[in-house]
Amino acid sequence: MSAKFKFAACLLFSLCFLVSLSSPSEGRAVVLALSGGGGKGMAHIGVLKILEERDIPVAGIVGTSMGAIIGGLYAVGYSASEIEGLIEELDLTAILSDRAVPELVPAGEEEAMIRRPLFRLSFDEEGRLIGPKGGLSAVRLLNEIAAIVAQRAQAVDFYKLPIPFAAVATDLETGEAVILRRGNLASAMRASVAIPGLFEPWLYEGRLLVDGGLVANVPVRIAKELFPGYPVIAVDVSGGLAGKDELRSLADIVGQAITILTRGNVEEDLKFADLVIRPSVDELPLLDFSKVGEAVRLGEEAATAAFPELAKLAERAPSPPEFVAERPLVARVAVTGLPSQLEREFLAKRSDWIGKELDMEAVVSSCEELNAYSDIRAVDYQIEEGPDGVALEFIAYRTPPRQLVLDGYASNLTPYRWLFVDATVRDIASEGDELKTRFLVGEQWGARLAYFWPDRGGERTSVRLDVQDWEVEPEGREGLSWTRYDLAFSHHVSWGKFRASYGLMAEWLDGSGDEEGWGPMAELAYLGLDDPLDPKSGTSARFLGWYAEEELLARLSFRTAASPSESWRLLLEGGAEIGDESIPAHAATLGGLDELLSRAYHPLMGENALWLRATLRHPWVQTWWGGLNADLFVGAGATYDGGWGKMEDAWEVGVALSVPSAFFGGSVYAVYDDRSDWTFGFSIGTPPLNDEPVRQ
């Protein structure tokens, strides 16, 4: 090879190298700054759909609040259509309401775990009062997002996702913007969406964080800093200010206040955007996610209108970075916030993780395992990268160790109206144990004292003492009254949606036939409803039995729900009871709290009983706080002796308006029965728990 040729070749190579350094390769890509906006943020999906259809790659995403949720899901690899389907399937309205029941909660306590009482006082270990930090915990949202993210993402660094990503939150202590770029992606998204007043602040790597919209609701400047050289497309769904006639709820007020507070930072950020897309979402509510399709359509329309300018910007941008999948190794596993024995058991099960690739689905599954305990209100995890792999730390947040609750129930359909006071003290003799008391004040009074030994792998043991005064005036009979004393020792087992318990119970009756007896008792339950307060699908069933003095007393009940369409639901409820009519407290009874509303004051009483109720439900309103349902129902029941020789039956039809809310639950009824009588009534609150093997 000649010297001239070598010189020319070297010169050409040098020139090409210099050119490659001085000017980035031409490509087609944009960076997105997605704003907060609650339910309005579903419009982000429509914008993403247009980018996909027009083949415009996304080189990075910075999201605030709902923009962080949508952006984070897109960054881990979900398409816009998949995100739309996930949100419709998840029912964000129900998820944000926190109506989730821990797996290890005993059967019969599902609604009690969800309902917010009239008044609650909580105290820490040092006796200091702990007040609620927000209306909603959004723990269920965290759990759902974590499970979804884990299916696609293994990266600790958010820049190493299929699309580099960052979420924006606000440090509640300093007021500073916090850019979340690594660690627990689901937790970062949860922190970014923590609207003050509505949601509890979220602790993330030692900082107490709230909604990023307070400091950067449309994070354009942050996106410019994180992704230099790319055009930043701002998608602003924050909306304008509402008129006074439109401010009709707490969510409306909070949304308006946030809009006022963020208006300054939004206007300032938008000055730095290369292009602003504003979907026309002003009419969409802040916390109503039932209009996903409409929001997506508005996002598509806005993106389509802006696309010619967007395409020009994308043409001048560098190509997006290449994604390289990584699975870091686990170097250490730790857990904080658990009782010492449970901590040892938890870590022992995960000792084989060390030295293996990080499995995010296994991490999420471990969080779900801890979330199943009734005294754990939330579980989070942190991930830190090190030279030898990642350090994984699970963080369990337990319920306060001291609680005092005041609640009540009232209805003109029943003779039972109560005010009840509950007190719970935890960690008395050992970590994880509980002492619970209940005092029932009303026309019938009662009291309960129960001690629960610590939960061990879904198993726990309890001893319980109950005293309750009861009065009843059966149909066609004189009034009866008695006082019942129960002492029960039980072992409880939970696995998945199943519950079982067994033990011994002794009983003493004073009045209407003094009796005493003891014997084995058992309970078996299946908790398969998707929502105990307002079910759309699933089935729950429960069997309670007590064998005493050669007599079996038992009750079987079920509840099933189906949704033939978006506008209608069908609910079936029913059951059977085996009793002992010779002892009024043990007789099978229909009427009162659930079976026959028209017989509430004068229930049917017999040796055995059967009942069935069918309800056709139309949900009128569905929001984060609950909703409003219109019901058309028909019910029937009968009591009979062993040979069907003596039978009393009854039927009823009626309509109702119900509010299945964790904050305020109530119903109004109009009932027509087989006696050609009309009954009009209401109910407010939740009846106190009655989990006896024999229903009173």
Which of 35, 65, 411, 658 is catalytic? The answer is 65
627, exposed or middle or buried, with CB in 10 Å at 0-12, 13-18, 19+? Answer: buried
Cβ partners under 8 Å of residue 368, min gap 6: 143, 147
Cα separation, 364 vs 381, in Å, equals: 9
Q: Write the DSSP assignment of 164-211 as a string of letters.
A: -EEEEEEETTT--EEEE-BS-HHHHHHHHT--BEEE--EEETTEEEEE
Q: Write the DSSP assignment of 536-548 as a string of letters.
A: SSEEEEEEEEEEE
Cα separation, 79 vs 420, in Å, equals: 50
Cα separation, 274 vs 253, in Å, equals: 32
Task: Give the torsion sign (CA, 636, 639, 642, 645).
Answer: negative
- 538-544 own/partner pairs: CB under 8 Å, 24+ apart: 542/107, 542/108, 544/691, 544/692, 544/693, 544/694, 544/695
Cβ partners under 8 Å of residue 634, min gap 6: 613, 614, 651, 652, 653, 654
Which of 98, 187, 192, 211 is catalytic? The answer is 211
Angle, CA 67 vertex, CA 63 and CA 68 arms, to 5°: 55
Residue 268 CA from chain centroid, whole number: 36
Cβ partners under 8 Å of residue 474, min gap 6: 480, 589, 602, 603, 604, 605
Q: Can 366 be counted among the known catalytic residues?
A: no
Cβ partners under 8 Å of residue 231, min gap 6: 30, 31, 274, 275, 313, 314, 316, 317
End-to-end CA distance of the chain: 104
Cα separation, 147 vs 369, in Å, equals: 13
Q: Confirm if 119 and 131 have CB atoms less than 8 A apart.
A: no
Q: Confirm if 668 and 681 have CB atoms less than 8 A apart.
A: yes
Q: Can 211 be counted among the known catalytic residues?
A: yes
Helix (H) or strand (E) holding 266: helix 250-270
Q: Confirm if 675 and 655 have CB atoms less than 8 A apart.
A: no
> What single letter denotes the amino acid at residue 645?
G
Indicate which residues carry an active-site annotation.
65, 211
